[in-house]
């Protein structure tokens, strides 16, 4: 009888409900879109047409999927940075500013040195972008660790500062010489050398940044769970006092968590310039350049359970949602404000669905324990202390 309990139907059920939970963000998104359907109806749009346009726009064709992937690259990179920051128990909402500074530095280098072989410049630019972002993230890190300045304050401020630096540079020292003469005075830089542009995959806008980002996701996983540095970052994130007692330099690792997080955002910025637009251009706001990747990247990481590898599909799905929503706007001609509102609804629903996921997980754990208790002890006397449920 005990044998049959052990081999009862629990394991298969367990797996099914685990898959259900892993897909919870998807279900939550669907729920949010159902609520959104009400708004669509109120605006006189057909929800069926709208949502099929959304899916079509995100995944419906080769080109559409390529657009989704392009959108997901900065989300993934910033999501990876968020994973690191989270594990280090720091909150990095400075992704917008870090992206901008990384982009500025890497663009400046690309425009200043025009005679290098393409592959070399791309590597240098990636390093420069990461460096820019690292500085812009490391500064809040230093401020937090050594001056006790909360990183939410410093990153919010530094986002705003970064925008002004960008505006100044792009209309001033870094402006395209053509524009400087023209009456249109567009605040943009010159275009990068053709050789410097990130090669594309397939005849679409998708560039190799995607592959680089995926590789980096694996690297982040290894960093966090297979290296001493990662261990220390996580230890400081879990318990500062204990880590200090254990001999870890707490302050240094706080700085490192924010610095690394910023580096990824900076790299995302470089990719926008080298992979997508081939120049840096501003409309005066931060979202004009980053596309809100600074915030959306954090959301994508959350959808990916703050695990670097799972953030990959999460970013693609979330990227698809964003791309598809814009496509939907074009088809049913609803105001873009609705799309923003839907974006918000999705975030709220997904973040709320965590509750159900955790609750189911706990139930599964309890069920497993109950199963274990009912099984005969492998060694006599093992379960003597435990009172059968």
Partner 1 sequence: MISDLFTATVLIGIISSGIRLATPYLFAGIGEMFGQRSGVLNLGVEGQMLLGAFTAYFVVLRTGNLFLAVLAAIAVGALMGLAMGFVTIRLQATQGIAGIGFYLFGMGMSNLLFQKLIGVVENINGFPILKIPLLGDIPVIGEIFFQQNLLVYLAFLLIPVAWFILNKTTLGLKIRAVGENPEAADSLGVSVVRVRYFTVVLGGILSSIAGASLSVALLNVFQQNMTAGQGFIAVALVYFGSWRPFGILAGALLFSMVNALQLWIQVLGIPIPSELAVMMPYILTIVVLALSLSKGKGPSALTKAFEREG
Partner 2 sequence: MKNLYKVLSVLLVLGLVLAGCTPAEPETSEPVVEDKPLRIAIVTPSNINDLAFSQSISDAMITLKAEMGDKLQYDYSENMFVVDDAAAAIRDYAQKGYDIVIAHGSQYGSSLQEIAPDFPETVFAWGTTVDTFGQPNIHAYEAASDQGGFVNGVMAAMLTKTKVIGVVGPIETGDAKLYIDGFVAGVHSVDPTIDVRVTYIGSFSDVALASEAATTHLSAGADVLTGSAQMVIGAIGKAQEAGAYWFGTQADQTSFAPDVVVASQVYHWEVIFREIFALRGEGVLGGKTFSANLKNGGQVIKINEGLNLDQAVLDKANETIQGIIDGTVTIP
- In the complex, which residues of this chain contact partner 1 (CB under 8 A)? 39, 43, 91, 93, 143, 147-150, 152-154, 156-158, 160-161, 164-165, 167-168, 172, 295, 298-299, 302, 335, 337-348, 351-352, 354-355, 358
- Count CA atoms within 13 Å of residue 21 on its CB side: 18
List the interface residues with partner 2, window 236-275 (CB under 8 A).
Answer: 272
Closest approach, Cβ 122 to partner 1, in A, equals 30
Closest approach, Cβ 26 to partner 1, in A, equals 16
- The angle at the Cα of 23, spanning 20 to 29, to the nearest 5 degrees, equals 125
Closest approach, Cβ 351 to partner 1, in A, equals 4
Closest approach, Cβ 169 to partner 1, in A, equals 9
- For partner 2, the binding residue among 38, 180, 182, 211 (CB under 8 A) is 182
Single out the segment in contact with partner 2 by CB under 8 A; choices: 99-107, 121-129, 277-285, 373-381: 277-285
284 binds partner 2 (CB under 8 A): yes
Single out the segment in contact with partner 2 by CB under 8 A; choices: 23-31, 91-99, 161-169, 297-305: 161-169
Distance CA 85, CA 321 (A): 25
Q: What's the token pair of residue 8?
A: 């009862």
Q: What's the token pair of residue 100?
A: 């901008």
Contacts of 313 (CB under 8 A, 6+ apart): 304
Q: Are 76 and 213 in contact (CB under 8 A)?
A: yes
Q: Which does 124 bind (CB under 5 to 8 A by kind): partner 1, partner 2, none?
A: none
Nearer to partner 1, 36 or 275 (CB): 36
137 binds partner 2 (CB under 8 A): no
Distance between alpha carbon 343 and the CA centroid of its chain, in Å?
Answer: 15
- Count CA atoms within 13 Å of residue 355 on its CB side: 6
Nearer to partner 2, 290 or 311 (CB): 290
Single out the segment in contact with partner 2 by CB under 8 A; choices: 208-216, 224-232, 307-315, 331-339: 331-339
370 binds partner 2 (CB under 8 A): no
319 binds partner 2 (CB under 8 A): no
List the interface residues with partner 2, window 57-76 (CB under 8 A).
Answer: 57, 67, 70-71
Sequential DSSP letters for 121-172: HHHHHHHHHHHHHHHHHHHHHHHHHHH---HHHHHHHHHHHHHHHHHHHHHT
Nearer to partner 2, 203 or 380 (CB): 203
Q: Which does 341 bind (CB under 5 to 8 A by kind): partner 1, partner 2, none?
A: partner 1
Distance CA 179, CA 183 (A): 7
Nearer to partner 1, 179 or 286 (CB): 286
Phi then psi dihedrals of residue 155, to 5 deg: -70, -35
Sequential DSSP letters for 86-118: HHTT-----HHHHHHHHHHHHHHHHHH--SS-H
Q: Are 98 and 130 in contact (CB under 8 A)?
A: no
Q: Which does 24 bind (CB under 5 to 8 A by kind): partner 1, partner 2, none?
A: none
Q: Which does 315 bind (CB under 5 to 8 A by kind): partner 1, partner 2, none?
A: none
288 binds partner 2 (CB under 8 A): yes
Q: Are 328 and 342 in contact (CB under 8 A)?
A: no
Q: What is the 3-state secondary structure (H, E, C) of 171-185?
A: HCCCCCHHHHHCCCC
Neighbours of 48 (CB within 10 A): 10
Closest approach, Cβ 266 to partner 2, in A, equals 18
194 binds partner 2 (CB under 8 A): no
| Alpha carbon separation from 187 to 73, 108, 166, 200 (Å, rounded) | 25, 14, 9, 26
SS3 of residue 247 by DSSP:
coil
| Residue ranges in contact with partner 2 by CB under 8 A | 57, 67, 70-71, 163-164, 167, 170-171, 178, 182-188, 191, 205, 272, 276-279, 281-285, 287-292, 323, 326-327, 329-331, 333, 335-337, 340
């Amino acid at each position: 009888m005990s044998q049959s309990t052990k081999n009862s139907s629990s394991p298969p059920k367990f797996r099914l409900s685990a898959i259900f939970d892993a897909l919870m963000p998807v279900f939550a998104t669907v729920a949010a879109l159902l609520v959104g359907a009400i708004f669509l109806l109120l605006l006189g749009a057909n929800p069926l047409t709208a949502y099929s346009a959304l899916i079509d726009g995100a995944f419906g064709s080769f080109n559409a999927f390529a657009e989704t992937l392009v959108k997901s690259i900065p989300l993934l990179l910033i999501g990876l940075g968020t994973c690191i920051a989270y594990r280090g128990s720091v909150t990095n909402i400075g992704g917008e500013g870090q992206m901008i500074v990384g982009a500025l530095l890497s663009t400046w280098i690309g425009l200043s040195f025009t005679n290098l072989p393409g592959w070399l410049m791309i590597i240098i630019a990636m390093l420069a972008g990461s460096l820019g972002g690292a500085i812009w993230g490391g500064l809040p890190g230093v401020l937090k660790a050594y001056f006790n300045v909360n990183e939410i304050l410093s990153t919010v401020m530094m986002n705003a500062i970064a925008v002004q630096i960008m505006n100044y540079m792009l209309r001033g020292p870094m402006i395209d010489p053509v524009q400087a003469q023209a009456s249109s005075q567009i605040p943009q830089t010159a275009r990068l050398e053709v050789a410097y542009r990130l090669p594309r995959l397939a005849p679409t806008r998708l560039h190799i940044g995607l592959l680089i980002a995926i590789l980096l996701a694996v690297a982040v996983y290894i960093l966090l769970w297979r290296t001493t540095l990662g261990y220390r970052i996580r230890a400081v994130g879990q318990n500062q006092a204990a880590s200090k007692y254990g001999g870890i330099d707490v302050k240094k690792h706080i700085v490192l968590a924010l610095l690394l997080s910023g580096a990824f955002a900076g790299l995302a910025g470089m990719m926008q310039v080298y992979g997508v637009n081939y120049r840096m251009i501003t409309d005066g706001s931060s979202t004009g350049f980053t596309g809100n990747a600074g915030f959306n990247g954090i959301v994508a990481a959350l959808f990916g359970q703050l695990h670097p590898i799972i953030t990959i599909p999460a970013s693609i799905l979330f990227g698809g949602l964003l791309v598809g929503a814009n496509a939907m706007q074009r088809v049913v001609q609803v105001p873009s404000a609705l799309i923003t509102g839907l974006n918000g609804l999705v975030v709220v629903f997904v973040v709320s669905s965590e509750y159900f996921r955790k609750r189911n997980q706990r139930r599964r754990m309890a069920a497993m324990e109950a199963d274990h208790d009912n099984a005969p002890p492998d060694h006599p006397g093992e379960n003597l202390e435990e009172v059968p449920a």
